[in-house]
Amino acid sequence: MTNPLVKFPEAGDLWEEVEGPGMYVLAVMPRTPGTDPCAIGAAIVILHPKGELLTPASPLWPTEETRKHNVDLIEEAAQMFWDRGERLKAELMRAQVPSVDLSLEFEQVTRMGATARTLRSTKTGEYWQADWKDLTPAGTLHLHQVHACFVRPPVLLTFLGDGEGE
């Protein structure tokens, strides 16, 4: 069991549990042009999440239209190899992860927590989104350390998700 870093609200007056895929929260530090005091020349990229990003954020993954175009190009190339009898190359092309499935570069990513529950506001009907006030003491400490290291705060992202964990 990992140290819980975010506390999901309980269903009650403010939040209701609705049918859905669960939720999870990531803390990310997008890479900036130039140098960061904590950067070492490495970057983290993550696969496009299966669930919907609920938090308004600048684009962290390419649009679905761009993704579909890239997937179509990979399939077209694979079909060309297949038609020329180069079956292994065709299968290798189809096994590629389209680059548009990968995020922009991050300098830090932490999975703050997940729940199998899907929570909506009883007043507005909007899905719950994590904020710094929802962090546990360990989560607050972690993000303050990340903030101090990079001299800017990480971004908390809430997703409708895979429903793993609680």
pLDDT at 1: 42
Query: Is there a single domain that holds both residue 76 and residue 111?
Result: no
Place of tokens 């895929």: 21
Residue 73's SS3 state is helix
Q: Report if residue 44 sits inside a domain.
A: yes
Q: Report if residue 133 sits inside a domain.
A: yes
How is the chain split among helix, strand and coil, in percent rounded to 5? 30, 25, 50
The boundaries of the domain holding residue 81 are: 64-99
Q: Report if residue 22 sits inside a domain.
A: yes
pLDDT at 150: 85
pLDDT at 52: 85
Query: Is there a single domain that holds both residue 90 and residue 126?
Result: no
pTM: predicted TM-score of the whole model, two decimal places = 0.75
Query: Is there a single domain that holds both residue 118 and residue 154?
Result: yes
Residues 6+ apart with CB under 8 A from 86: none
Q: Report if residue 20 sits inside a domain.
A: yes
Residues in the chain where the model's pLDDT stays below 70: 1-3, 35-40, 97-100, 162-166
